[in-house]
A and B are shown apart, each in its own frame.
Chain A
Amino acid sequence: MRYVVIGSSAAGINAVRELRKTDRDAEIILVSKDRNIYSRCILHQYLSGERTLERLNFAEKDFDTVYNVNWMKGREAVSLRPGEHVLVLDGGEEITYDRLLVATGSHTFIPPIKGLAGATNYIGFRNIDDIEVLKEVPKTAKHIVVLGSGLIGIDCATGFLHMGVRVVLVDFAGWLLNKQLDERAAKTYIDAFRANGVEQYYGVGVSEVRVGGDHKIYEIELSDGTVLPCDFFVVTAGVRSNVEFLKDSGLELSKFGLVYDECGRTSDPDVFGAGDVSGLSPIWPVAVKEGMVAAANMAGRNQKMTDFFASKSTMSFLGIHTMSLGMVTPPDDSYRVDVYDKNGVYKKVVSRDGVIVGALLQGDLAYGGVLQQMIARKIDVRKVKKPLFEIDYSDFFHEKANLEFAYEL
């Protein structure tokens, strides 16, 4: 049996582990554009110098030896012929497989901003190569503008801040981390960034970048007419899945990315998918689990994804910690909203008919994991006689025969 896995991030690495766990003797080939295993979630710590490349590695140091993997690093898949079980790599090399996992992730989306296509001094914040470039940027650039204030944009801004560099943030949304935070929780960060000298423009897009004769952006114009000096532009305005190499494969693709079911199966029985390549749930734990589930099915063990709750995140920018779960701003007044807001601690729980649908914890995250379960499992919490922010496992306590805890009784 020969397994081929494309991609060496959360989904790919965990798939390899699972494949090896199930099948000691199979041949496993890992193909990756990346030459190193590194966690994209902590690239800002590499930018700021808080972490070396070695310490970005989330897997075993000698991963390929430990799991007996033929790792073709620095290689890119360029096309796939599923009928023949052939994957074509850069340079035209063809490798065959019995089962293939596509865990190619996603890339930075470059929006069609007027002038941007002809410019050279812009980049995304996605790959280690992006960060290598950005590390050098402050040596020459004075006005770095970051487009987008989602988790990646704010990662970028804080990474630079640790270097003593103050970027300018621009976002079309009304406040930063718009998907994760309500206005109140966002204000804490907006004020903190302002106090640290980070200029922020919300509710506006970039309508044009102006490029000089040297192909370099020198200023940008916002949708409200504001003109900002800019000598380097970082784009964090979403991602697109890496499915270009599949366009002639015949595999079913959606407008978001590769289509696969809860077992990781694509429209071809021997091709599986996992992680950001679906374009659906771009978060670390989903990629890890999809990688494991797909690998189990590739190796003939039936497993299904069961955790579909993906609107969740934690953050700790500028020493301010926040956990965001589900719907944090109710769409109408049919929801109950419980709020605690005192001494730098802000907690909010949104519920309806006894079921929690969203929660925000800021300034104190201790033991917050139970809230995620309440939301994901749609548990009726009306029997709990304590404030919803303080909900804990005691009212759901159940010890299994092997002494694990469980929710289902």
Chain B
Amino acid sequence: MYRIRIDRDRCIGCLTCVTACVVSHETESGDARNRVVIDSETTPAPIFCRHCNKPECTYTCMTGAMHKNPETGFVEYDRNQCASCYMCIMSCPYGILKYDSIRQKEIMKCNMCVHRSADGKTPMPMCVEKCPMHAITLEEVKE
């Protein structure tokens, strides 16, 4: 499967990836599905969904809205099935999830920008495309 490699040494915290995420998803609230935080040593840390092998967000989802696609390995989210219970926000070990800031209904969940591809399953993350430092790159990894 594909994951986004994060090279913190290259990241300058410019937030271009966050902007790219907002643009790619055209979410009503303008919320991003990724974030860049600063650690206690003032070094930026891009925090992106890992589409985990054992995704806590899917185990805790009581509606099936959050589920792992066995073919692509991506953890997909169906906002129409979601009950907005927020258990996934609590369960993500890395603090990547939040709800949209206007309606507080939809979980801001990375989909690897598969919606940008013709077949709807090829990852085309705009954050990776736009990063001026190549701090984030798309790579094929073993699950």
Contacts and interface: CB of A to CB of B under 8 A. Distances in A.
Interface stretch (B109-117, B122-130, B135-143): B135-143
Contacts, number: 138
Given A58-B64, A404-B52, A405-B50, A365 B90 contact: yes
A316 B85 contact: yes
Interface stretch (A158-166, A198-206, A342-350, A383-391): A383-391
Given A42-B83, A323-B86, A365-B98, A393 B4 contact: no
A297 to B, nearest CB: 16
Interface in B1-47: 3-6, 8, 35, 37-40, 43-45, 47
Interface residues of B, number: 46
Given A321-B86, A403-B139, A59 B64 contact: yes
Which of A10, A55, A392, A399 gathers most chain B CB within 10 Å?
A392
A316 B95 CA distance: 19
Contacts of A308: none
A321 B56 CA distance: 20
Contact of B64 (A45, A57, A314, A383): A57
A316 B104 CA distance: 10
Nearest to A41: B62
B95 A369 contact: yes
A255 to B, nearest CB: 28
Given A392-B47, A393-B45, A367 B96 contact: yes
Interface in A268-312: 284-285, 288-289, 292, 312
Given A323-B90, A385-B40, A393 B3 contact: no
A366 interface: yes
Interface string B62-92: 1110000000000000000101111101111
A394 B91 contact: no
Nearest to B51: A404
A399 B5 CA distance: 8
B87 A285 contact: yes
A369 B97 contact: yes
Which of A10, A45, A370 gathers most chain B CB within 10 Å?
A370
Contacts of A312: 90
Interface of A: 10, 39, 41-42, 45, 51, 55, 57-59, 284-285, 288-289, 292, 312-316, 319, 321, 323, 325, 365-370, 372-373, 383-386, 392-395, 397, 399, 401-405, 407
| 5 A-B pairs closest in CB distance | A366-B98, A394-B39, A394-B45, A370-B95, A369-B92
14 contacts: A41-B62, A41-B85, A42-B63, A42-B83, A45-B83, A314-B86, A323-B90, A365-B98, A369-B89, A369-B91, A369-B97, A372-B91, A393-B95, A394-B37
